Structure 1
Amino acid sequence: MRVVLSTYGSRGDVQPLAGLALQLRALGAEVRVCAPPDDELAEQLGAAGVEMVPVGESVRSLVTGPPPAPSELPKRAAALVADFYDAVMATAGAGDAVVATGLFPSAAGARSAAEKLGIRYAYVSLQPTTLPSPHHRPFEYSMQPYPPEVTDNRELWELNIATMNALFGEVVNTHRASVGLAPVDNVRDHVFTDRPWLATDPVLGPWLQPADLDVVHTGAWILPDERPLPADLVAFLDAGAPPVYVGFGSMPMRGSQDVARVAVDAVRAQGRRVVINRGWAGLNLTDDEDDCFFVGEVNQQALFGRVAAVVHHGGAGTTTTAARAGAPQVVVPQIVDQPYWAGRVAELGIGAAHDGPAPTTESLSAALGTALTPGTRERATAVAGTIGTDGAAVAAKLLLDPSGREGLAASA
C-alpha cells in the first residue's frame, strides 16, 4: 500500500509527516510526501529516507518576503489547490490513502484528488484550535472579522463555515468543476471531514470533551533526531552553567536585530548565557562576549535537554520538543495557534506565556524570571515524563490496519 502525505507549510508542518512516514515504512508501506520545495525541508525528509515530491513555491521566500497584497490571496489559494491536486493525482493510485495538513487550500487540493481517485483520505490538524469545538474560538481572518457581539463558541464556529466559504469556496469549487467534481456547499467540513485526526500530545494539547466533532486523537507525531550537536556548541555548553535557548523558527520577526539584542540583554539580566538560533528571521548581532553563541539548524531534541530554558514562538513542534526534554519555556506567540500553546505552557506550570508578540528586555526578562524558578523546573521535569512518543506509530497502524480504516473518509 502507498500512503501520500501532503502539506504546505514550514518545518513544523513537514517534520511530523516525516515521523509518520518512518513508522509507515517500518510497517511495509510505500510513502511519498508532497511538500514545498525549500532546501531545508527536502534535506530533512532526505535524511529520514523519505521521498519528497516538491509542490508549489518556496515557503521560506513567501514568509520572509514582502506580505502579499489582499488582492493576490485568491490567486495564490487557487494555485495551491491546483498544484496539490496535480501532485497527489500524479503520486497516488487505486488502493492508496492520502493524509493532508498544512494551509487550507493545499489540503483542499489533496482532498479533491483523493475523491477523484476514489481513495481514502484523512485530514490531520497539528493543534486542537483549528478544529471546531465549544471549548475555543475559531481563528479570525483579518479580512473576515466576526461580529463583536457574538461570544458563544458554537455560534462562532457556525459563522466560521460562512467565513471559509467566502475565502475559499469559489476557489475550491472552480477547480473542482474544472476536473469534473461536483461543488461542495461547506468547504471547511468537506476538507476536514466528519472525523479529522489530531496529532498532538494528550497532556500538552488535549481534545476536550464534550465536543461536537468525532476526532481521532493519535498523539504527537515525532521524528527522532539522532544528529550529534556541533563540536563548538558542545564546547560552549560544557564551558559553564546551562544557557537559555532563544529561537523563533520560521517566524520572520521583523526588526530581527533588535529582537536578538532584546533576547541577549534579557537573558543576561537573569545572569545566564544564551544560545540563539538564527532561524528564518536571521537573528544575529555583533557581540564579542563569550556568553553568547549563535547556531543554525540544530538537533533540538539533544540541545533542549542541556539548557536552562527555551524561549520560542510557540510552534507545536518546538513546544512539544521542549516539554519532552523537561526544559522550562517562555513562549512569545506570533500567529494562529501559537497563543494557544503559550496558554498551555502557562496552565501546565512548565513556563511562562509572554504578553504579546514583541518582547522588550524588561518583559522578556520578567517571563524568564518565572521560567527559571526551581518550581517551574520541577514541574517541567514532571510533565516531561507524561509526554508520549508513540503518536506516529498509532497513526501508522490506523492507516494500514483494515480494522482501523474507519478513521479515514471514503472518497469513492
Structure 2
Amino acid sequence: MAEINERLFREAKKYIAGGVNSPVRSFKAVGGAPVFVKKASGSKIFGEDGKTYIDYCLSWGALLLGHAHRDVSLEVKKAVEKGTSYGAPTKIETEFARRITKAVPSMERIRLVSSGTEAAMSAVRAARGYSKKNKLIKFKECYHGHGDYFLAGKRGVPENLSRDVLNLDYNKLEQVELALSEDRDIACVIVEPIAANSGLLLPQKSFLEGLRKLTLRYKALLVFDEVITGFRFCFGAAQNVFGIIPDLTCLGKIIGGGFPLACFGGKDEIMRCLAPEGNVYQAGTLSGNPVAVRAGLKTLELLKTPGFYKKLNDKSELFYRRLDKAVETSGVGVCLNRFGPMFNFCFRDKLKFKKFFHQLLSCGVYLSPSADEVCFISSAHSDKDLNDTANAVTYALSRLN
C-alpha cells in the first residue's frame, strides 16, 4: 500500500511546492512518502492507502476532542448555512472573546486572527508599539510560526532583522538577565511556557518566574505563546497552571476546534495601542470568520464539561505507565517525556526514531512525523486505542535491538 502514497506524493510535487503545504508533513524527518489522508473520525485517520491509523498528531495538536466531533460538526453545518464570511463584526465574536478572557484573566482584551503565526507576529508588533522599543528576545528551542522575526538569520529573511532579535537558550535565565541589563531597547521576551517543538522541554521551576521578574525590572513585556499549551491541561492556559501572569498571550489550535482560528491579547492598556483605537496596525480579511468562531465556541463549551480535563489527564497517566514499562524493558536508549495529554519519545540516536516511527506506522499508529515534535492524546482516544498503542510501542521498541 506504500506505493499509493508514493504515487500521490509524486503527483502532488508537480503542482504543490515540495508536495505539501507545510514542510513537516512531507515525512522528510522520518523518510518515505507521507500518508495521504482520505478522511478522519474520532481518534482515527483513514488513509488513501486503505489503512486506518490511531492518530496522535491530531492536526498538530488542534483537536483535543478528536476528529469530526459530532457536536462541533453540527454547529459548523448550521453556521455555513448562514454565510461563510461577512467581513463585518458579529455578536458571536464578542461572546467568544468574553469566554476567552474569563478563562485566561491576563487577557483583558483580545483580537482574533486566523493562525498562530499571525497571533505571535501581532503580539510582538503590539509590544513594540506599546513600549516604543524595537528588539525582542526569543529562545532557540521555541517555535512561534514562520514570521520573519522568528526566523531571523534564515535564508529569505533580511539580514538586518538579526540585529533586533536576541536568540537565547531556553531555561538559561542568566542569559536573559545579561541581555536585558545591557540593552534597554528590548520590547519583549516571547516564550512557549512549555517548549513543544524541541522534544517537549519543560521549564525549570524558576525559569518562568524569573522571566516575569526580569521583564518587570527592565520594563520589557512578557509574551506567552500558548498556541499549543492553551486549553491543553485545564480550562485556561499553562499560565494558570504555573501561576505566572504575562503581559500578552497567544492562543490557537484547540480554540478553533479544527478551524483556522487564533487570538492574541493582554492588558487593556496594551491592546488599546491597536488600530482603530491606536496607531499599531493589524488586520485580516478572515479574522473572526463566523464558521471558525462557531466551531471554537462549541469546542469551549464541550471543554468546560465537568470532569473533562480530569478524565483526560487520568487516561493519559494510565497510558504513560504502560509506555514507561515498555521503555524500561526495551534496552533502547529512549525516554518518555510528557506533560498532561502531551508526550514525546526522546531517542539518544535520532536515526532510531525513524525506524520506530515506521514500525508504529506499520502497526496502525500515527505519531507526529518528527523526533522534535510532540504527540497528543484526545478525549476521543479509547482505552482500546491506548492499549493497542502501548502493545505496538512494545513491539516497535523490540525491533530496534
Q: TM tier, shorter chain?
A: under 0.3
TM-score by length of structure 2 reads: 0.28
TM value normalised by structure 1 = 0.27
Larger RCO of the pair (alpha carbons < 8 Å, separation 6+): 2
